Amino acid sequence: MPTSQPKTIYLSEYRVPDFLVDHADLRFELFEDGARVHSSLSIRRNPDSREQGSALELNGDSLTLESVHLDGRQLAPGDYDDRGELLVVPSVPDAFELQVVTWIEPQNNTRLEGLYKSSGMFCTQCEAEGFRCITFFPDRPDVMARFRTRIEADKAAYPVLLSNGNPVDSGELDNGRHFVTWEDPFPKPSYLFALVAGDLVEKTDTFGTMSGREIDLRIYVEPRNAEKTAHAMDSLKRSMRWDEETYGREYDLDIFMIVAVDDFNMGAMENKGLNIFNSSCVLARPESETDMAFQRVEAIVAHEYFHNWSGNRVTCRDWFQLSLKEGFTVFRDSQFSADMGSPTVKRIEDATLLRTAQFAEDAGPMAHPVRPASYMEISNFYTLTIYEKGNEVVRMIHTLLGPERFRKGSDLYFERHDGQAVTTDDFVRAMEDASGRDLGQFRLWYEQAGTPVLAVEDDYDEASQVYRLTVTQSIPDTPGQSGKKPQHIPFALGLLDTKGADIPLTLAGEQSTGETTRVLELTETSHTFEFTGIASRPVPSLLRNFSAPVRVNYPWTRDQLMFLMSHDSDGFNRWDAGQRLAVEVIRELSGHAEAEVDPRLVEASRTLLNDREADQALVAKMLQLPTEAYLIELADKPDVQIIHHARERVLKVLATALREELLACYRRQQPAEPYQVTPEDVASRSLRNMALSWLLHIGDQEALTLALEQFEKATNMTDQAGALRALVNSPFEAERGQALEAFYQQWHQDPQVVEQWFSIQAASPVAGDLPSVRRLLEHEAFDWKNPNKIRSVVGAFAGQNLVHFHDQEGSGYQFLAETIRRLDDSNPQIAARLAAPLTRWRKFAHVYSEGMRKALESVRDKEGLSRDVYEIVHKSLAD
């Protein structure tokens, strides 16, 4: 814990490592009261370093050093300097063996970084800088070593001992102990190291690769979860096949393992050959997990698997390059999910997350480029900007190059850099070299923070049949960056004629190609495009399929939006037109209690509900009103209470006006058994549960009967939790309490379901007022040491229950600050992540912002603040 201001690390100060590690030979002795780690490193000076006489420096954190040997000779305390975070050995030869023994206490490790215990098993999390909590090591991604790992533990308590690579030896030891040795043939950075020891059941399968090798697939879980692995296994096999077919990437070891652990700071981790997952991102079966959980498992299994090439075989030179692996891998997993399900729905989901949360990040005090230039604590940079905007940046390269040239580029990238630790610039260069395209200006996407805004104006000249479109880009200032240069933006668009058909697009001076969607390339501050042969004033469909992570401003009329909703050939823009219409209608009501809900929104929703021909997956998305979070993001100095009540009113008007249609929809949408996670069935359940929740929202008696019946009889969690959520958010107080109680009794032994139960309550504007949320923290199932429980109560409250979190007394803010202070000592990564909602304080209307600022200050003033929270809080409060 820093007593003074933590140091800022700058990209511009990057230097190659002075020493390289060829081999790391590790021996772990695991006990109940701690673990002894024997590390034997073959080290040599890096010929590329300019500091050929420098001292050896190894990173460490919370380690008890027991001994150091250099080439077999024990060093006396005067021969080295144990500075806590650094072990310095001043004089070392050019090549040597260093043996270090450290003692650590995994059982007391609540930070969940390094080696720790979760439900009785030992496990690790080393990204980004957790390996230094295990032993002294040059803990940076450009030092890549071959690891050999021997694990020793009590055989009865820890029958399963796992690490990266292939098992090469095992045997019995005295006192009921045993050992297993693993060897990983691929050099890797320390952040990809993993170890697991526990009493786990193994689910196995095999995969035949494209070159005919057979890979052993294993998923390890606690015995109570043995029935929840099938979906992850299927997802894994689909991912392996997809990566071969789409990117020509084959798996490289003989064995691929996944382990589920209950206590985990993030979603999952791509350790070489031994992925470790948060239980909630890998376990799923229909009775206890929702459609959303099924989709999350598939996407995360794919994500971690894809990292084997984009991340492990080719890794990051330094942590400023984090998006090299994360942006590219999110792009790969979103292509995969699109291929497995509905591409339009996947695009809508990605754009929703980006526009709601990443745009907010980009507009706040933590805004940073996809390749940041500095940081204090790298754990704070696992952000939506690195992951989701990083994905969009890779997607734009894909759009600019087209699929064939993009594939050539990725082939070249993997071939050129296999086994290396490289930069985002190396990635872009491979794309350029393979395609012949100049991406010089495009690189600004990696360097400049902030969300570009496109202001679009048009005019139509009937006499010449020319339609002129002027697009002007601007990029807002962000902390430390102003006066930005225009970026290279692929801007896809189409034009609709009066009947709603796409018009072939021909620019002045061109031959007609018949294309109806064109990707225009914006490179200047302002461009004017002239489309010829346009017979009447068209309706523009802009930024089709969300071709760039930007905001678009164009003054569509409400009638034009309705027109686009029903005619645009671009599914994404059909949905987006509906969102824009709803945003306008809700805005119009904000603060105007007497204003009427625009009947056009009601009619548009009615048309959607009655449309049996349309893609029901898209219909389900289109019927969802923009979230409060998105409405807030769009607003200037938002008043949260007003926005909440305006949105509620619209919902009530819709539910009342569409009662018959909603009941009909509910009855019609009954997916056949058995349960399947196809886009059709997911859409069907989603529409059905939406109809139910709208009707319960207005206290409809008939819907209450339906909800109670669905709750009782549901054979899958999507329907059971759907009914529960609808009841919890309804005015039926008695039924709400009974359902919550019955649900808990039914599921209290399943932590993933209990997390659902917590978050349904904590996120509820009806049942989740602050006193109720505080009571959840006292509940027997709540556990301050478990990040999932914290997220499902505190995270759900502050992130989704905006009407209570932004209570005007500021009690929600104080509650969050209290939680952050409490967690700062035990788990700083989680504490820092929870702080995100407060960092946006400047955005809000004064009644809110003052309270938010005070809450942040109370966190700032805590003694011995962690580096993680320090960085977030100080940057948020800085002028």
Looking at the annotation, which residues are catalytic?
Answer: 304
Nearer to ligand 0A1, 686 or 829 (CB): 829
Q: Which of Zn ion, ligand 0A1, none interacts with 188 (beta carbon under 5 to 8 A by kind)?
A: none
Q: Applying CB under 5 A, which residues contact Zn ion?
A: 326, 329
Report the 10 Å Cβ neighbour count for 614: 15
Q: Which of Zn ion, ligand 0A1, none interacts with 545 (beta carbon under 5 to 8 A by kind)?
A: none
CA distance 435 to 420: 22
Which residue from 29, 61, 127, 615 is in contact with ligand 0A1, where contact means CB under 6 A? Answer: 127
**Does 750 interact with ligand 0A1 (rule: CB under 6 A)?**
no
Report the 10 Å Cβ neighbour count for 199: 14
Q: How many Å is the Cα radius of gyration of the chain?
A: 28
Minimum distance, C-beta of residue 130 to ligand 0A1, in the bound complex (Å): 7
- Under DSSP, is residue 865 helix (H, G, I), strand (E, B) or coil? coil
Farthest-apart Cα atoms in the chain, separation = 95
- Which of 139, 373, 377 lies closest to 867, judged by CA? 377
Minimum distance, C-beta of residue 134 to ligand 0A1, in the bound complex (Å): 14
Minimum distance, C-beta of residue 189 to Zn ion, in the bound complex (Å): 14
- Under DSSP, is residue 272 helix (H, G, I), strand (E, B) or coil? coil
| Helix, strand, coil fractions of the chain, as percent rounded to 5 | 45, 20, 35
From the list 9-17, 244-252, 264-272, 784-792, the region that binds ligand 0A1 by CB under 6 A is 264-272
CA distance 324 to 300: 18
CA distance 38 to 455: 61
Q: Which of Zn ion, ligand 0A1, none interacts with 125 (beta carbon under 5 to 8 A by kind)?
A: ligand 0A1
Which residue from 18, 29, 262, 326 is in contact with ligand 0A1, where contact means CB under 6 A? Answer: 326
Residue 471 C-alpha from the chain's centroid? 31
Residues 6+ apart with CB under 8 A from 878: 365, 479
Nearer to ligand 0A1, 451 or 827 (CB): 827
- Which of 179, 158, 153, 181 lies closest to 169, judged by CA? 181
Minimum distance, C-beta of residue 786 to ligand 0A1, in the bound complex (Å): 16
Q: Which of ligand 0A1, Zn ion, none interacts with 265 (beta carbon under 5 to 8 A by kind)?
A: ligand 0A1
Residue nearest to ligand 0A1 (CB): 266
Minimum distance, C-beta of residue 346 to Zn ion, in the bound complex (Å): 17
Minimum distance, C-beta of residue 563 to ligand 0A1, in the bound complex (Å): 41
Task: Check: CB of residue 294 under 8 Å from CB of residue 679.
Answer: no
Nearer to Zn ion, 386 or 695 (CB): 386
Residue list 453-512, contact with ligand 0A1 (CB under 6 A): none
Minimum distance, C-beta of residue 397 to ligand 0A1, in the bound complex (Å): 20
Please give the single-letter amino acid code of residue 691: A
CA distance 70 to 461: 82
Q: Which of Zn ion, ligand 0A1, none interacts with 362 (beta carbon under 5 to 8 A by kind)?
A: none
Number of amino acids touching ligand 0A1 (CB under 6 A): 14
Task: Check: CB of residue 516 under 8 Å from CB of residue 504.
Answer: yes
Can you tell me which residue has the tokens 């052993």?
Answer: 216
Q: How far are the Cα atoms of 172, 676, 810 from residue 349, in angstroms, in the given order?
A: 51, 20, 32
Copy the structure tokens of residue 831.
């504490």
Minimum distance, C-beta of residue 625 to ligand 0A1, in the bound complex (Å): 31
Q: Which of Zn ion, ligand 0A1, none interacts with 99 (beta carbon under 5 to 8 A by kind)?
A: none
Copy the structure tokens of residue 865.
């603040």
Q: Which of ligand 0A1, Zn ion, none interacts with 235 (beta carbon under 5 to 8 A by kind)?
A: none
Nearer to Zn ion, 167 or 267 (CB): 267
- Which of 493, 127, 177 lies closest to 326, judged by CA? 127
Task: Check: CB of residue 97 under 8 Å from CB of residue 72.
Answer: yes
Q: How far are the Cα atoms of 178, 179, 441 from residue 174, in angstroms, in the given order?
A: 8, 11, 64
From the list 227-235, 263-271, 554-562, 581-589, the region that binds ligand 0A1 by CB under 6 A is 263-271
**Binding-site string for ligand 0A1 from residue 368 to residue 397, where x marks contact by CB under 6 A and - marks none:** -----------x--x---------------
Per DSSP, the residues of 275-344 read EEEEGGGT---TTTS-HHHHHHHHHHHHHHHHTTTBTTTBEESSGGGHHHHHHHHHHHHHHHHHHHS-HH
Report the number of secondary-structure helices (H) and strands (E) in the chain.
Answer: 31, 31
Nearer to ligand 0A1, 382 or 467 (CB): 382
Nearer to ligand 0A1, 432 or 868 (CB): 868
Minimum distance, C-beta of residue 286 to Zn ion, in the bound complex (Å): 27
Nearer to ligand 0A1, 300 or 760 (CB): 300
Which residue from 46, 125, 352, 693 is in contact with ligand 0A1, where contact means CB under 6 A? Answer: 125
Can you tell me which residue has the tokens 């511009």?
Answer: 12
CA distance 876 to 843: 12
Nearer to Zn ion, 329 or 756 (CB): 329
Nearer to ligand 0A1, 379 or 399 (CB): 379
Consecutive H or E run containing 182? strand 177-183
Report the 10 Å Cβ neighbour count for 714: 16
Residue list 299-318, contact with ligand 0A1 (CB under 6 A): 303-304
Minimum distance, C-beta of residue 269 to ligand 0A1, in the bound complex (Å): 4
Which residue from 68, 134, 261, 266 is in contact with ligand 0A1, where contact means CB under 6 A? Answer: 266
- Which of 134, 190, 181, 130 lies closest to 153, judged by CA? 181
Can you tell me which residue has the tokens 């390996």?
Answer: 131
Minimum distance, C-beta of residue 326 to Zn ion, in the bound complex (Å): 5
Nearer to ligand 0A1, 123 or 268 (CB): 268
Q: How far are the Cα atoms of 350, 466, 494 from residue 502, in angstroms, in the given order?
A: 25, 16, 7
Q: Which of ligand 0A1, Zn ion, none interacts with 346 (beta carbon under 5 to 8 A by kind)?
A: none
Q: How far are the Cα atoms of 189, 345, 666, 668 from residue 671, in angstroms, in the given order?
A: 47, 19, 11, 9
Minimum distance, C-beta of residue 322 to ligand 0A1, in the bound complex (Å): 9
From the list 265-273, 443-451, 571-579, 759-767, the region that binds ligand 0A1 by CB under 6 A is 265-273
Please give the single-letter amino acid code of residue 242: W
Q: Which of ligand 0A1, Zn ion, none interacts with 268 (beta carbon under 5 to 8 A by kind)?
A: ligand 0A1
Residue 848 C-alpha from the chain's centroid? 28
CA distance 114 to 107: 12
Minimum distance, C-beta of residue 297 to ligand 0A1, in the bound complex (Å): 13
**Does 265 interact with ligand 0A1 (rule: CB under 6 A)?**
yes
Residues 6+ apart with CB under 8 A from 249: 243, 308, 309, 414
Which residue from 63, 269, 302, 838 is in contact with ligand 0A1, where contact means CB under 6 A? Answer: 269
Consecutive H or E run containing 428? helix 424-435
**Does 270 interact with ligand 0A1 (rule: CB under 6 A)?**
yes
Nearer to Zn ion, 329 or 689 (CB): 329
Do the bridges between strand 19-31 and strand 146-154 make them parallel or antiparallel, or are there none, so unpaired? parallel
Nearer to ligand 0A1, 386 or 564 (CB): 386
From the list 261-269, 357-365, 599-607, 679-687, the region that binds ligand 0A1 by CB under 6 A is 261-269
Residue list 793-852, contact with ligand 0A1 (CB under 6 A): 829
Q: Which of Zn ion, ligand 0A1, none interacts with 266 (beta carbon under 5 to 8 A by kind)?
A: ligand 0A1
Nearer to ligand 0A1, 150 or 371 (CB): 371
List residues binding ligand 0A1 (CB under 6 A). Answer: 125, 127, 265-270, 303-304, 326, 379, 382, 829
